Structures are given as C-alpha cells and as structure tokens.
Structure 1
Amino acid sequence: MTEQRPAQTSAHLGTAPPRGAAAGAAAEVTTGPGEHIRTYPFDPSASVFGVGMQIGPMGTEGPWAGGVGLSRRVHRIDFHVLLFFREGPVHHMIDFTEYEARPGDILWIRPGQVHGFSPHDAYVGTALTMQPGFLPRAMVEATGMYRYDRPPLLHPGPDQLAALGPALEQLGREYLDTSTLPLSLHTSVLRHSLTALMLRVAHISAQAAADACAPQPDTTFSRFRTAVEQGFTENHSVSAYADELGYSRRTLVRSVRAATGLTPKAFIDRRVVLEAKRLLAHTDLPVGRIGAAVGFADSANFSKYFQQHAGVTPAGFRAEQV
C-alpha cells in the first residue's frame, strides 16, 4: 500500500462497474465540466427482485460487464462495494491511497469514499454491493460497516479464505434463487446469508485494524458520526452537535475518544479536510468555492484552516496532485 498522486481516470471492471452504479448519477458539486465529483447511487431496479444488494462476477460476464457508461474518472458511490479478488495484482485508488490487491484479497469501498479503477489491471473475482439500510442497524454496528478508520484492503488467511468461499457462494446462490420463495422470504434469507458473510469479513477487518478485542462504537458515537456526515459542510461546532444530539460535551468527548482516539473537534476537522482535499484534487473549483462547500464563507479563513490541518496551502496541495 503506497501513497501516491490521485488517479485521474477509472477503468471498467472487467470492462464496466456494476449496473447499479451508473443509473441515476448525480453530481454533488457542479458548475461545469471538471468542477464536480460525481456520485453514483445504488439502483435497486438493477438487482434481482429489486432487493438492496447485488452479487456477481467482476469479469466479462454478469452485472459488472456490459458498458454501463460510468465516467472514466474518480467518483463516489453512496453504497458499499466489496471486491473479492481471484486474480491480481490490481491497483485501486481510494482517497489518495493506492492499494494493491492480490488473489484472495478483499477491497471494501464504503459510501462516500472517492475512488478510481485502474485503467490497466483486470478485475477478476466476485463483486458484492449493498445499499445502506439493507442490513438491520444492529448488524451494521456489529460489522463495522461505517468504520472508516479501518483499512479498505483486507488479506484473509488460508483458513479464513476457506470459510469465506462457501459463504460467498451460498449468498450468490440465494441471490439468484427467485423461484422457491416469495419476495419477503427471499429478502430475509439474503439478509441472513449476507450477515453471516459480513461477520466473517468484519472479523478480518478488525484484525487488520489491530482492534479485534476493542469494543464496538456505542450509540453515542454512531449518532455523532452520522450527524457530522450530514452536517460538516455547515457545522464545525462540537457544542452544536452536542446540543443537537442531547449530550453533554463531556459525554461526547468520552464516546468519540473511546471509538476513534480523537477528540470530537479533531474528528470534525478530519472530515472537513478530507472533503476539501477531494475537491481540490478531483475538481477544477476555485479555492474560494471549495471553502464555501465545506463551510467557510471567507476564502482566507479556509486557507488558514486548511494549512493548519493539512500542513500545506490549498493551492500547494492542488499543485502536488498534478
């Protein structure tokens, strides 16, 4: 895994990303060509029975092939993607880091992350996509689906791979079985099969983050994390989040520090700076517009804030990406 300049294009998986990735594409920030990072939402209509997940091969057949027309540049998705690689190496960029996946590896791309497909590598294996909300909240927390602090690239051991293979195959069979159960039961079975698989993946993810024995984030942190994700472009105040959620600052500090090792303010700042970096690297928006997009009415204040937290000016950071 190596840091590198952000990729400027994305290739097709096999030759195309999943069908659900391209439908209904919407730009988050847009004023013209090169001035937005496009977000591709999950499309349930592309799934069997319209359920909130898809699973299929990454090769030249199945839902990840067929030329769906995804823009050949970095982009966001608003759903989870797990790529189970059968061949490699494959190089894939996620938020300014290039990951090298080899046979047996898993790459977990979470909602909102900016990523780009390699234009040169063949993606061979199985792709799993999940719509947020498809699994019950308790399972979302248990599997760490929104633990952005965990590494996207996972390296299962031989025994783990031996257990993952049948679980992945079973999920694929259940997904395609539309004849033996009514829709409600079909969906329930899929949720159970998906949960079993994700619990195994989550264990590998926790081991990769060296926190397999650490407690899961509590509800206080989960609510704070969600509130920050929804409001960081306008609200940078810890007190405002505490008031909104009905917690004391002390409770919020204790919960966020236990879950991430950060103070609530540092957690907010990290999210704001990441978004600013994404826009600086992947759009042509002026610095002032980017500052406004992350909550700064004054361009000079944004530049000072960015330099304080990123160690470089916005213009300097953008120049490094060329």
Structure 2
Amino acid sequence: MKLYPNIRDLLLDWGITPKLNNENIFIFRIEDHFENKPLSFGPYQQDFFELTFGIGHDADIKIGVSQFKPIKASISFTSPYQITSWSINRFQEDSLGYMILFKPQIMGGSLNKIDFYKRYPFLNLHTSPMLFLNDEQQNTIVHLMQTLHKEYNDGGQKGHQTIIAAYLTIILEKIREFFQTPDNLGFTSRAQEIAFRFEDLLKHQARYDLKIPHFAEQLHISTAYLSEAVKQATGKTAHGIIKEYVILKAKSLLTQTDSSIGTIADSLGFTEATNFNKYFKKNTGITPKTYRKLP
C-alpha cells in the first residue's frame, strides 16, 4: 500500500500531469481527467485531505471501514492516513464531479492543526466520511466548486492565493453548516487537548507493538498523565483506544487489500500471524479470514 506525502505524486499515479499553482492545493473536474470507463485505484494513504463532490457517478468508494456507492449528490472526505480505495464503473450522461486535494497550510497561519480539526470535525477519523446533499445544498456546492476551479486555473493575478484560500474556507464552512455542527467545539480542559493529540498520533502510527509510553514520550508527558488525561476526556483507557485504532486499521487492510494475513499482521506490529488472529478474534468475535469474506 502506497503512502503519498505530496499531492503531485498522487496525481501522477492517476495519470494527471498537474500544473500546481500551489503545492498545498489542487482542484480539478473529474470528468476532465477520468474517462467514462471502468477504473480502479487503491488502496492508498496520503498526507493531505481529499474532498470530493460528485453527482451521477456510478462508483464504489471505501474510506476506512466505510463503503459507499454514491449516485446522488454527495461529498466524501478523506483525512490524512485513512486507507482509501475506489472504482468508477461509469458516469451518467449529466454527471459532474470536482475533487480538491489540499493541506491546511493553504489557509495560512490562522488555524493550527488542532484548531483546524476542531473547526471542521467532519474531517476527523471517526466521523462519517460522506455527506449526501439535498437540492439546495447541491446547488450551493456546485456553484462554489465551479468558482474555485475557475479561480485556480486563472492563476497569476494579484491576490490569487488569498482568493483560493477564501473560497476553500467558504466551502468548508458550508459543509460544516450542512452537518449542523455545534459552535462550541473548543477544548474545555487540558485533558481533552491531550486526548486529541494522542488520537492524532494514532491515525498514522497505530501498531500493536507501540505502547502507551511511546506516545507519552512523543507528547512530552508522563505515561501516567497520558493515561489519566485520556480516561478523563474520553471515558476510555489509552490502551483501549490504541486497540480500537489497531482493529480499525486491520479491518481497512483486510477489506481494501489482497495482502496476506501474515503481511497485514507484520504491518501492524505482530511478530506472528497467529498472535494477530487471536487478537483480532478476541476483539471482534471473528477471525481476520472470516471478516475478509463478509459481504
């Protein structure tokens, strides 16, 4: 499974030779680059966000453990280090789609990483990675996507990057509005902030062999303080959350790759496939092999 650290490399593997006006963002109309014929890609991970709007696309999408077949107007969200794969079966005659690949840096220094996730919680790992739109919402997003696409391709004028960042912000704010997200999204305690940072590390470091002291060291706090803060903020133990992420990653790899059970076990930090089998069955009730065969 390939990890893409930058937008350009992913686009090149899609057969798109990008003219990047800014390394932190790229927007394109899907029909301009993907032909109306079966096409599959993935699984893969990336170190940036992927926001896709589509209507009239006969496609199969897997983001993490969630699977979708969107025909109606929808927006999907892929966050850094989520495991993703998709296949396009065909486009309907009136199909329309846009994809935005971006890093938060495009929006300047107004939001740090934590503030960004707090402001737009639909981009977090545990939220639903797809939102289906009603007619009014669809019209709003189509207009904004078309405008952003035009502005992006008209690069060069004074203030261009500011305009791009502004339209992306408007799109994210509109999606936030569609989700009816409460305004009070701030941390109310140091424990909440620590728990958030802990889970942020787990998004791309979830392995069975990485224990609580490993994450405490990265957060520059004691193991006891990390455990106490996570328990206070989430009601769960730090060990329990590590286990959730390991299982979540295991499920994604089982459903989105053809890798052997042994290869998956090794990537998750298990020294033996049998240990992984026991661990998975203990926490899900079924073996990895049985889970892979589920419809």
TM-score under structure 1 length normalisation: 0.70
Residue 198 of structure 1 deviates from its aligned partner by 0.8
Q: Distance in 2 between matches of 1:140 and 1:56?
A: 24
Counterpart amino acid of 1:252?
V
Q: Is the 8 A contact 1:171 1:194 kept in 2?
A: yes
Residue 308 of structure 1 deviates from its aligned partner by 1.1
* Partner in structure 2 of residue 126 of structure 1: 98
Instruction: Specify which structure has the higher proportion of strand.
Output: 2
For residue 215 of structure 1, the aligned residue among 177, 185, 189 is: 185
The within-5 A match list for 1:1-322 is: 21-23=10-12, 46-59=18-31, 61=32, 64-65=33-34, 72-78=40-46, 79-88=48-57, 90-122=59-91, 124-131=96-103, 133-135=105-107, 136-137=111-112, 138-144=115-121, 146-181=123-158, 185-205=159-179, 207=180, 212=182, 215-216=185-186, 218-233=192-207, 235-245=209-219, 246=221, 248=225, 249-255=227-233, 257=234, 262-320=236-294
Q: Distance in 2 between matches of 1:288 and 1:88?
A: 36
Residue 82 of structure 1 deviates from its aligned partner by 1.9
Instruction: Specify which structure has the higher proportion of helix.
Output: 2
Q: Is the 8 A contact 1:101 1:153 kept in 2?
A: no
Structure 2 unaligned residues grouped into runs of 5+: 1-6
Counterpart amino acid of 1:188?
T
Residue 243 of structure 1 deviates from its aligned partner by 4.5
Q: Distance in 2 between matches of 1:95 and 1:159?
A: 29
* Partner in structure 1 of residue 4 of structure 2: none
* Partner in structure 2 of residue 7 of structure 1: none
Q: Distance in 1 between matches of 2:182 and 2:254?
A: 35
TM-score under structure 2 length normalisation: 0.75
- 2:27 is paired with a residue of what secondary structure? strand
Q: Percent identity?
A: 19
Counterpart amino acid of 2:134?
G
Residue 305 of structure 1 deviates from its aligned partner by 0.9
Can you list the C-alpha shifts for 1:92-111, whole angstroms capped at 9, x where unaligned? 23334331323432122333
Residue 161 of structure 1 deviates from its aligned partner by 3.5
Can you list the C-alpha shifts for 1:28-59, whole angstroms capped at 9, x where unaligned? xxxxxxxxxxxx8xx9x824323311222111
Q: Distance in 2 between matches of 1:140 and 1:284?
A: 32
Specify whether residues 317 and 156 from structure 1 end up closer, same or farther in structure 2 by C-alpha distance, changes over 3 A only.
closer
Q: Distance in 2 between matches of 1:230 and 1:113?
A: 8
Root-mean-square deviation (CA, aligned residues, Å) is 3.3
Residue 264 of structure 1 deviates from its aligned partner by 2.9
Specify whether residues 226 and 125 from structure 1 end up closer, same or farther in structure 2 by C-alpha distance, changes over 3 A only.
same
Specify whether residues 235 and 227 from structure 1 end up closer, same or farther in structure 2 by C-alpha distance, changes over 3 A only.
farther
- 2:77 is paired with a residue of what secondary structure? strand
- 2:127 is paired with a residue of what secondary structure? coil
- 1:124 is paired with a residue of what secondary structure? strand
Counterpart amino acid of 2:228?
R
Q: Is the 8 A contact 2:265 2:272 kept in 1?
A: yes
- The structure 1 segments of at least 4 consecutive aligned residues displaced by more than 6 Å after TM superposition are none
Specify whether residues 58 and 239 from structure 1 end up closer, same or farther in structure 2 by C-alpha distance, changes over 3 A only.
same
Specify whether residues 48 and 230 from structure 1 end up closer, same or farther in structure 2 by C-alpha distance, changes over 3 A only.
closer
Q: Distance in 2 between matches of 1:116 and 1:173?
A: 28
Specify whether residues 301 and 65 from structure 1 end up closer, same or farther in structure 2 by C-alpha distance, changes over 3 A only.
closer
Structure 1 unaligned residues grouped into runs of 5+: 1-17, 26-39
Q: Is the 8 A contact 2:151 2:163 kept in 1?
A: yes
